[in-house]
C-alpha cells in the first residue's frame, strides 16, 4: 500500500474537459479525483483500474436522497457483483448502504468489509442446500429465485423472513444479455410459481415476507421504472390476496443506468424515484405500516467512478488502423460480451491529429476489441489511454484468459492515491494447479 499526493503545482491549470467519469484534462494530462493519470500509471503500472472515492459517495448520496425524500422506510443494498473491491464495499458501508449479494462468498466478502449480516440480502440463483443453510446460519436475509429451494429449509433452520424473486414477464436493459426478466430469463418465478412458493413458505411457519424483482440493467428511462414497479405491485397484490399474507419488504432490484455516449441524457433519478414511490403509495399508502422499499443499484453507484488506464503497445496501420493496448477482454470484457460502448481518451498528452481506429487488446480472439472504428487522437506506442465508466462489471468480470494475471486497482481521493488490489503475477494464475508426477519433465 502506498499513498502519494498530487505533483506540486499540478492543479494550477484549468480543466479543459470534464468527462462523464468526472475525469478532466489539465495541460493535456487526464486527472481523476485530483490525481494525474500519468503519475498513477507510472506508480502502479498498467492496466490499472482507478476509482474515485468521492464519486462513489456522490452517486450513493444522490440515489439515496432521491428515494429517501419520497419514502420513509428505504433500504439501499449496493449490488456487490458490480464491483467487489473491499475498499469500495467499505466506502458504501460507511455511507450506510446494505449489500446485495449473489452468493454465499459475496456475503462473506461483505461481512469482511464490515457489513452486518442483517444488512445483507442474498439473492442466489439455483442455490443448493449447503449454500442456503450457510446463508441462514450467517444470519443474512434470503431472497429465493426458485420455490424448490424451500425444500432445503427444515427444522431449526426456518428463518423469520423470506423473500421471493419474481419474474414480472418484462424487463429492459442496455443489451439483450442484461435483460433479466421475461420468458427467456433464467431468473425468478412467474406469478403462479410464486403463489405456490409463498404458500409453501407459510406452511413452513415463515411469517415475514418480502417480494423482489430485478428486470434488467442499464436503463436510462425513468418512466420504465414506474411501469415495472406497477407490474410488480400488481403481482404482489394478487399474491397477498391468494396466499393471505402481507409484504413487509418490496425490493425493485437495480438497473438504474448511466450515460455512456456523449450527449446521452442521464437517467432522471428523481423522476424515477417519484414514479416508483407513487406506485408504492397507491398500493400501500404511506403510513408507518407500509413496507420497506428496497433498491439494489450497482452500476449507478460505481459505474462512472472508475477509469481503466492502459498503455498503447503498438499501432498497426493497414486497411484499417488497430491500436493495440495492454488491456483486453481479459481485463474488461463488457465491449466484447455486450458490444458495450465505453469512451476512450488519450490520457498523457494533448490531442493533435485525429484518425479512425479500432482499439484492441492482446488476446487471441477477434472479439478482443475495446472500441471499433472510433475517432481518436493519433496514438503512438507508449501513449496512455483511459477507458471511461469502467467501475461496474469491470474488474469483477475480469479473467486470466491467455494466462494473463489480473490488473491492479487503485483508489483516489482529493489527489491522493493508493493501491487497493495488487497486480496478480503468474503464480496467481498457476495458483492451485497440481500436475500429476507422471506428467512432469523429470518423469519422461
Ligand X SMILES: Cc1ncc(COP(=O)(O)O)c(C=O)c1O
Q: Are 334 and 373 in contact (CB under 8 A)?
A: no
Measured distance CA(265)–CA(259) in Å, rounded: 6
Residue 364 is a catalytic residue:
yes
Kindly tell me which of 293 and 385 has the beta carbon lying closer to ligand X: 293
Kindly tell me which of 299 and 342 has the beta carbon lying closer to ligand X: 299
Cα angle for residues 204, 209, 215 (degrees, 5° grid): 120
> Which listed residue (43, 101, 360, 364) is catalytic?
364
Q: CA–CA distance from 172 to each of 101, 216, 231, 333 (Å)?
A: 21, 5, 13, 21
299 contributes a contact to ligand X by CB under 6 A: yes
Q: What is the 3-state secondary structure (H, E, C) of 349-376?
A: CCCCCEEEEEEECCCCCCCCEEEEEEEE
Measured distance CA(33)–CA(36) in Å, rounded: 9
Of positions 168, 188, 253, 394, contacts ligand X by CB under 6 A: 253
CB of 222 to ligand X, least distance (A): 15
Task: Please list every residue from 56 through 85 that binds ligand X, using CB under 6 A.
Answer: 79, 81-82
Measured distance CA(243)–CA(6) in Å, rounded: 61
* Residue/partner pairs of 337-341 with CB below 8 Å, 24 or more apart: 337/177, 337/397, 338/174, 338/175, 338/177, 338/178, 339/175, 340/174, 340/175, 340/260, 341/260, 341/261, 341/371
417 contributes a contact to ligand X by CB under 6 A: no
Kindly tell me which of 214 and 336 has the beta carbon lying closer to ligand X: 214
249 contributes a contact to ligand X by CB under 6 A: no
Closest chain position to ligand X (CB): 254
296 contributes a contact to ligand X by CB under 6 A: yes
250 contributes a contact to ligand X by CB under 6 A: no
120 contributes a contact to ligand X by CB under 6 A: no
Kindly tell me which of 214 and 346 has the beta carbon lying closer to ligand X: 214
Q: Are 329 and 363 in contact (CB under 8 A)?
A: yes
Cα angle for residues 356, 358, 360 (degrees, 5° grid): 155
Of positions 34, 298, 324, 335, contacts ligand X by CB under 6 A: 298
Q: Are 309 and 36 in contact (CB under 8 A)?
A: no
255 contributes a contact to ligand X by CB under 6 A: yes
Site map for ligand X, 140-179, x if CB under 6 A? ----------------------------------------
CB of 328 to ligand X, least distance (A): 23
Outline where DSSP puts E strands in 185-274: 208-212, 247-251
- For 321, phi and psi rounded to 5 degrees? -105, 125
340 contributes a contact to ligand X by CB under 6 A: no
Of positions 52, 100, 119, 383, contacts ligand X by CB under 6 A: 100
392 contributes a contact to ligand X by CB under 6 A: yes
Measured distance CA(60)–CA(52) in Å, rounded: 13
Kindly tell me which of 253 and 377 has the beta carbon lying closer to ligand X: 253
Site map for ligand X, 365-384, x if CB under 6 A? --------------------
H and E: helices and strands count for the chain: 11, 21
Which residues lie across from 79 on neighbouring strands?
100
304 contributes a contact to ligand X by CB under 6 A: no
CB of 174 to ligand X, least distance (A): 9
258 contributes a contact to ligand X by CB under 6 A: no
256 contributes a contact to ligand X by CB under 6 A: yes
214 contributes a contact to ligand X by CB under 6 A: yes
110 contributes a contact to ligand X by CB under 6 A: no
Specify the residue for cell string 523429470: 442
DSSP 146-166: SGGGGGG--GGG--SEEEEEB
The set of catalytic residues is 364
Which residues contact ligand X (rule: CB under 6 A)? 79, 81-82, 100, 123, 214, 217-218, 253-256, 296-300, 392
Amino acid at each position: 500500500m502506498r499513498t502519494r499526493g498530487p505533483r506540486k503545482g499540478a492543479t494550477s491549470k484549468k480543466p479543459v474537459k470534464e468527462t462523464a467519469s468526472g475525469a478532466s484534462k489539465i495541460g493535456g494530462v487526464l486527472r481523476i479525483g485530483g490525481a494525474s493519470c500519468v503519475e498513477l500509471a507510472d506508480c502502479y503500472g498498467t492496466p490499472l483500474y482507478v476509482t474515485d472515492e468521492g464519486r462513489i459517495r456522490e452517486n450513493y448520496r444522490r440515489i439515496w436522497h432521491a428515494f429517501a425524500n419520497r419514502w420513509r422506510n428505504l433500504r439501499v443494498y449496493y449490488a456487490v457483483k458490480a464491483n467487489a473491491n473491499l475498499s469500495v464495499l467499505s466506502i458504501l458501508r460507511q455511507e450506510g448502504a446494505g449489500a446485495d449479494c449473489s452468493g454465499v462468498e459475496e456475503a462473506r466478502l461483505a461481512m469482511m468489509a464490515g457489513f452486518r449480516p442483517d444488512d445483507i440480502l442474498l439473492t442466489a440463483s439455483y442455490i443448493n442446500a449447503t449454500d442456503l443453510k450457510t446463508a441462514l446460519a450467517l444470519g443474512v436475509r434470503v431472497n429465493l429465485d426458485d420455490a424448490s429451494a424451500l425444500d432445503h429449509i427444515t427444522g431449526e433452520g426456518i428463518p423469520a423472513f423470506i423473500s421471493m424473486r419474481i419474474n414480472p414477464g418484462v424487463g429492459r436493459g442496455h443489451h439483450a444479455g442484461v435483460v433479466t426478466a421475461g420468458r427467456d430469463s433464467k431468473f425468478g418465478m412467474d406469478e403462479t410459481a410464486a403463489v405456490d412458493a409463498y404458500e409453501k413458505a407459510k406452511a413452513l411457519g415463515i411469517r415475514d415476507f418480502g417480494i423482489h424483482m430485478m428486470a434488467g440493467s442499464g436503463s436510462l428511462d425513468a418512466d420504465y421504472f414506474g411501469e415495472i414497479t406497477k407490474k410488480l405491485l400488481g403481482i404482489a397484490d394478487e399474491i397477498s390476496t391468494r396466499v393471505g399474507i402481507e409484504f413487509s419488504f418490496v425490493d425493485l432490484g437495480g438497473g438504474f443506468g448511466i450515460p455512456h455516449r456523449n450527449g446521452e441524457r442521464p437517467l432522471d433519478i428523481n423522476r424515477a424515484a417519484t414514479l416508483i414511490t407513487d406506485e408504492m403509495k397507491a398500493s400501500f399508502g404511506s403510513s408507518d405500516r407500509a413496507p420497506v422499499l428496497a433498491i439494489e443499484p450497482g452500476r449507478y453507484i460505481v459505474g462512472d467512478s472508475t477509469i481503466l488506464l492502459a498503455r498503447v503497445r503498438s499501432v498497426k496501420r493497414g486497411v484499417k488502423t488497430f491500436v493495440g493496448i495492454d488491456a483486453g477482454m481479459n481485463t474488461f470484457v463488457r465491449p466484447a460480451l455486450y458490444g458495450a460502448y465505453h469512451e476512450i481518451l488519450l490520457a498523457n498528452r494533448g490531442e493533435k491529429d485525429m484518425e479512425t481506429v479500432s482499439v484492441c487488446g492482446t488476446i487471441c480472439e477477434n472479439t478482443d476489441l475495446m472500441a471499433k472504428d472510433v475517432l481518436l487522437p493519433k496514438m503512438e506506442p507508449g501513449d496512455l489511454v483511459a477507458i471511461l465508466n469502467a467501475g461496474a462489471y469491470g474488474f469483477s468480470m475480469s479473467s486470466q484468459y491467455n494466462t494473463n494475471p489480473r490488473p491492479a486497482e487503485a483508489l483516489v481521493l482529493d489527489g491522493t492515491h493508493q493501491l487497493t488490489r495488487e497486480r496478480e503475477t503468474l503464480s496467481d494464475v498457476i495458483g492451485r494447479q497440481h500436475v500429476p508426477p507422471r506428467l512432469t519433465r523429470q518423469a519422461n
